[in-house]
Amino acid sequence: MKFKGFMVIALFLILAWPGSGFAASVGDTSPEFTLKGLDGTEYRSDAIIGKKPLMLVFWATWCPNCKEEIPALKKIHADFGKQGLEFIAVNVGTNDSAAKMKRYIEKYKITYPVAFDKGGETTKRFKVQGTPTIIILDKSGIVRYRSAAVPDDLEKHYENLAK
């Protein structure tokens, strides 16, 4: 009897866990979010979804794999930004600061938009548990790609994202 009561409580806690209703997987609808870019630009999901596909790159200055992906991300931003892909590199805010980010951006000559998720709210909404995490939403706001790796076949699938 005690075990059954424990299981009911455990199940309740799992279902009530903060963030459990947020998008996590391919096929899910994007959660709402608002991010502030280092340049002051505000990025709101309701201003992007329905208008263009979106690539979110969750990263941190202390992440070695994030640093390795910078050249590929610069190329994606340059090539697909012209075609309408909205691109936001989202610093997860863990053990980072705006000052650290600015130095990092200058050091690695990052040219794509960068936002700081102070407090980690957007990171939680997308259930990001490690960096880098790359999430690509189609124009309708459906998660079409989620991985730690930069997609090497984005060009092949881009037309479907823009529909």
**Domains within the chain, CATH numbers bracketed:** 22-161 (3.40.30.10)
- The closest of 5, 6, 54 to 32, measured between CA atoms, is 54
Identify the band that residue 163 occupies on the pLDDT scale cut at 50, 70 and 90.
confident
Is the pLDDT reported for residue 18 higher than 70?
Answer: no
Give the global pTM.
Answer: 0.84
Q: Give me 135's structure tokens.
A: 């999430």
C-beta separation of 63 from 89 below 8 A = no
**CB-CB contact of 36 with 90 (8 Å):** no
In this prediction, residue 144 has a pLDDT band, given cuts at 50, 70 and 90, of very high
Q: Is the dihedral of CA 108, 35, 21, 18 positive or negative?
A: positive
pLDDT at 116 over 90: yes
